[in-house]
Amino acid sequence: MGYSVPSYERVSTLWQRAGRAGRNLAIDAVAILLTESCFFDDEKDKVAQKAVE
Amino acid sequence: MDKLVNIVLDEAHVIKEWGGTFRTDYLKIGPICYRIPQMIPFHLGSATVGKQLESELVKNLHLRVDSLAVMRQNTDRPNIFLVVERMKHPANSYEDLAFIIKKNLGPGNECPPKFLVFFNSQTEAQAGAEFLRARLSPKLCDKVKWFHSGMMDQFREDEMHALIIGESLGEALTDAAGMVDLKVLRFEIIITKGLPINRELISPISNGLFSTELRKS
């Protein structure tokens, strides 16, 4: 999370959850967001493509 | 009243989300503002209250702008690495969490890094914990806990909660339970399952992500 986010509201929940990791700055931590395929651009494009066809 | 120095609402980002139904006492803050001297400062503390949310809170809680200060922490956390993973199983399955715990993990095996898994409901948090427990050998099967706001009375004491988690491999929880201050503990993996998210958000995050080796279980 090596950058600040311009609009906090949209990512507040994710940032708050991820921020529970690595409270000790000497320790590297990993925050994984498991999200459904339908939110990824390529899947959305596929759906859009099908709609066109 | 004359001993009142200021009023602080910590973790102010939850007020909007919880004020309506879950923690309705938040809505009583507005009337308080009219009963205290005008010079008493009001502080909102949160890493994630932006300008938009600030103005909503000012409006809904009738806060006085001239005596309001928002304390924002820097959200830049260089030691946290964000990864976006595509779920391979249906959203109502927990199979995508299987990588956290090696099948039949027993007392003689190396423990996984301490983890937290966030869920969007209490039911899911419990079911997720039960899924992970089923992967452990019988001797360790209670080493994954679940925690949500419905259990707050049971774990009212933060220290009690910390003690329980300290002895566990990890925990499945909801946002409300995550409010308990767990900074004494070292969590190395935080997993968020099924957070509604849009492409505008994923794109900037995925620019900075890297493939993780954690999945080699």
Site from B13, B16, B75 to mutate, A interface, most A CB atoms within 10 angstroms: B75
Residue B78 lies in a domain: no
State the total domains in chain A: 1
For residue A12, the chain B residues in CB contact (below 8 A) are 13, 48, 53
The CATH number linked to B178 is: 3.40.50
Q: Is residue B88 part of a domain?
A: no
Would you say residue A42 lies in a domain? yes
Assess whether B105 and B198 both reside in one domain: yes
Please determine, for residue B72, whether its predicted confidence score (pLDDT) is greater than 70: yes
Residue A38 belongs to a domain: yes
| Adjacency order of strands within the sheet including B115-118 | B80-86, A29-35, B189-193, B115-118, B170-173, B144-147
Residues B47 and B140 in one domain: no
CA distances from B107 to B28, B110, B113, B133, B217 (A): 50, 8, 15, 14, 17
Instruction: For residue A37, give its domain range.
Output: 8-52
Q: Is B160 found in the same domain as B65?
A: no
pLDDT in tens, B124-138: 999 999 999 999 999
Q: Do A16 and B48 touch (CB under 8 A)?
A: yes
Q: How many domains does chain B have?
A: 2
Minimum mean pLDDT among B56-60, B109-113, B188-192, B193-197: which range? B193-197
Reading the block at residue B194, the tokens are 């099924």
Would residue B170 count as lying in a domain?
yes
Mean pLDDT for chain B overall: 78
Determine the pLDDT at residue B97.
Answer: 93
Compare all CA atoms of chain A with the CA of B84 and give the residue at the minimum distance: A33
Q: Is A10 helix (H, G, I), strand (E, B) or coil?
A: helix
- How many whole angstroms separate alpha carbon A18 and alpha carbon B85? 14
pLDDT confidence band for B208 (50 / 70 / 90)? very low
Mean pLDDT score, B209-217:
35
Segments forming the whole domain that contains residue B114: 95-207
The reply to whether B86 falls in a domain is no
Inside any domain, residue A35: yes
